[in-house]
Amino acid sequence: MSHCNTRVICGDILDFIEDPAIAGDKAHRFFPNGALVIEAGKITQFGFEKDILPQLESQSESIELVRYDGKLIMPGMIDTHIHLPQTEMIGAYGEQLLEWLTEYAFPTEKKFSDRAYASKVSKHFINELLRNGTTTALVFGTVHPQSVDAFFSEAQQRKLRMIAGKVMMDRNCPDDLSDCAESGYQESKELIEKWHNVDRLSYAVTPRFAPTSTPEQLKKCGQLLEEYPDTYLHTHLSENKDECAWVKELFPESADYLGVYEDAGLVRKRAVFAHGIHLSERELSCIADNDAAIAHCSTSNLFLGSGLFNLKACEKHGVRVGMGTDVGAGTSFSMLQTGNEAYKIQQLQGEKFSAFKGLYLATLGGARALDLEGTIGNFNKGCEADFIVLDSEATPFIKFRLAKAKTLHERLFALMMLGDDRCIEATYILGENQYRRDRTPQFVETTS
């Protein structure tokens, strides 16, 4: 039996070690004709192929070489906010947040009381993540514990690093989607006991958002976080103006929207707040001071007409930011497309958003938002070898455009504007290939 203990991936290798807004050109590392070395599912080293290969060969190890010449090798993308049950109603017409929830999201989520259905959707959902080069995600289930059980089972089978939680909501929602402070607590606790820190899975305590939880339920969330300090907190924050006004009415005692979560002890490290569009200086400072994070969901913010995310203010306050697709209010599973729309949101505010910034947020920035730097997000020694292969020649047109790119940034930026799942040639999990794109262009011959 042949044992292959070292795998070497050759291609143009790119990753990030810092935020480009802080470190400029020193934020990324780029090795054209590079080699990435993997042992037992982890990165051991990377650099130029001409330096790495002779050294490995001299150690006469058995190595398996995989060549992706001219292709870009990057860490897997990290989606810091997405809804499993909304996969099937993505692209629902005509409403802003609160009406969209009652009209589309809630009815769809009811289907997840059926474990078999949740399991079927989980398979499609994970396939779609891998097809888009997303290797880790922070995932909303539904109020039904079986939605999360089904998702974790599927993710575990595929050895993925995933974070998920059952929705908690005990008011302002349909009766058959409602738990109560006590049952929500108990069901979450059982899921934590069953799944948290099992293989590569982690649990996120998931109150939907302030309007659908009583203060008692939010307190119970705080209690769970105290009992299990390394679990996550995952919720929505300050997405829509009507939502913000409603929160003010429902929680008159709290300082502001974030204050509602703060009062329940939810603003902390490993807390991830989706959106955070209409935040005050106080709220931004509070998020930064408590080491919590924001998931910026560009396609969703434009689709629901929620508003323009102030990335510069987050940078100023030192808030950790990741990017989320927020499927199904978001319109794409692709983190490239999410970067594309994030660019436009900054343009509308007269700010720049480089491809370096976009790809940083999709990888190391996401890892930092999830408190997983050193585990995923870049190619540092010891990191888990979840990575993707990006094809700059995915379609004749993309090839035509990218052939004109003179600099690395131009290549990456055009890729972020034009690219999506078509550009993901392969996705690797712990050094193993789990997805390979099947591309057979079919031009039918014409005779004149």
Catalog residues that contact ligand GUN under the rule CB under 6 A: 83, 97, 101, 105, 208-209, 236, 239, 300, 326, 329
DSSP readout, 133-201?
TEEEEEEE--SSHHHHHHHHHHHHHTT--EEEE-EE--SSS-GGG---HHHHHHHHHHHHHHHTTSTTE
Interface stretch with Zn ion, choices 11-19, 313-321, 326-334, 367-375 (CB under 5 A): 326-334
If 0-12 CB within 10 Å is exposed, 13-18 middle and 19+ buried, where does residue 343 land?
buried
CA-to-CA distance for 139 and 78, rounded, in angstroms?
11
Distance in Å, CB of 328 to Zn ion, minimum: 9
Max Cα-Cα span within the chain: 77
* Closer residue to ligand GUN (CB): 169 or 359: 169
Distance in Å, CB of 249 to ligand GUN, minimum: 16
* Closer residue to ligand GUN (CB): 97 or 279: 97
CA-to-CA distance for 355 and 360, rounded, in angstroms?
8
From the list ligand GUN, Zn ion, none, partner contacted by residue 143 (C-beta under 5 to 8 A by kind): none
Distance in Å, CB of 129 to ligand GUN, minimum: 18
Q: Which helix (H) or strand (E) holds 246?
A: helix 241-250
* Closer residue to ligand GUN (CB): 169 or 398: 169
* Closer residue to Zn ion (CB): 231 or 301: 301
Distance in Å, CB of 195 to Zn ion, minimum: 21
Total of residues contacting Zn ion (CB under 5 A): 2
Distance in Å, CB of 251 to ligand GUN, minimum: 15
Q: Which helix (H) or strand (E) holds 81?
A: strand 77-83
CA-to-CA distance for 312 and 18, rounded, in angstroms?
16
From the list Zn ion, ligand GUN, none, partner contacted by residue 105 (C-beta under 5 to 8 A by kind): ligand GUN
Residue 79 makes contact with Zn ion by CB under 5 A = no
Distance in Å, CB of 93 to Zn ion, minimum: 18
Distance in Å, CB of 431 to Zn ion, minimum: 32
Distance in Å, CB of 430 to Zn ion, minimum: 28
From the list Zn ion, ligand GUN, none, partner contacted by residue 371 (C-beta under 5 to 8 A by kind): none
CA-to-CA distance for 191 and 196, rounded, in angstroms?
7
Position with the least CB separation from Zn ion: 326
Pairing of strands 6-16, 28-39: antiparallel
Give 424's strand partners.
390
* Closer residue to ligand GUN (CB): 140 or 379: 140
Interface stretch with Zn ion, choices 3-11, 33-41, 64-72, 266-274 (CB under 5 A): 266-274
Distance in Å, CB of 267 to Zn ion, minimum: 18
From the list ligand GUN, Zn ion, none, partner contacted by residue 411 (C-beta under 5 to 8 A by kind): none
| CA 259 to the chain's CA centroid | 25
Q: Which two tokens stand for residue 90?
A: 């993505």
* H helices present in 252-349, as ranges: 257-263, 281-289, 298-303, 311-317, 335-347
* Closer residue to ligand GUN (CB): 43 or 304: 304
Classified as helix, coil or strand, 421 is helix
| Residues in CB range of 149: below 8 A, 6 or more apart | 115, 118, 191, 194, 195
* Closer residue to Zn ion (CB): 235 or 354: 235
Give 431's strand partners.
none
* Closer residue to ligand GUN (CB): 125 or 209: 209
Classified as helix, coil or strand, 423 is helix
Judged by phi (left if over 0) then psi (alpha if -120 to 50, else beta), residue 40 lies in left
The site map against Zn ion for 272-301 (x = CB under 5 A) is --x---------------------------
Distance in Å, CB of 1 to ligand GUN, minimum: 50
From the list ligand GUN, Zn ion, none, partner contacted by residue 357 (C-beta under 5 to 8 A by kind): none
Residue from the set 15, 256, 326, 384 that interacts with Zn ion by CB under 5 A: 326
Site residues for Zn ion per CB under 5 A: 274, 326
